[in-house]
Amino acid sequence: MMIMSAVDSTFFTLNEIATVIWQAADGRTPLSDIVARKICREFEVDPAEAGHDAEQFVNDLSLHGILLVSEQPIASPPEAR
């Protein structure tokens, strides 16, 4: 999968794990849950290393304006809309 920043036209080619993170980033699910429930279950990776790598990936996308990083959910649950 490839994604592009609308801010600076930077292209990112996502590997399998990055694609899982991208697809799971719904504005409600914490990154730690994505890592624990998806990455560590689907891939043979060390949880600490997976968490570190996921944070770095998300921060890179955030720096390019592709993802918004927040300590709180940024999207309301579907049933609340």
| Domain assignment of residue 13, given as a range | 2-69
Tell me the per-residue pLDDT of 29-71, one tens digit each, with 9 for 90 and over: 999 999 999 999 999 899 999 999 999 999 999 998 888 888 8
Residue 76 counted as domain residue: no
Residue 55 counted as domain residue: yes
Residue 65 counted as domain residue: yes
For residues 46 and 16, give the distance between their C-alpha atoms in angstroms, rounded to a whole number.
16
For the CA atoms of 3, 1, 37, 40, the dihedral, rounded to the nearest 10 degrees, stands at -120
Number of separate domains in the chain: 1
Predicted local distance difference test score (pLDDT) of residue 79: 62
Question: What pTM, to 2 d.p., does this model score?
Answer: 0.81
Predicted local distance difference test score (pLDDT) of residue 35: 97
3-state helix, strand, coil in the chain (%, to 5): 50, 5, 40
CATH of the domain at 43: 1.10.10.1150
Compute the average pLDDT of residues 19-26: 94
Residue 17 counted as domain residue: yes
Residue 40 counted as domain residue: yes
Predicted local distance difference test score (pLDDT) of residue 75: 65
Residue 80 predicted with pLDDT over 70:
no
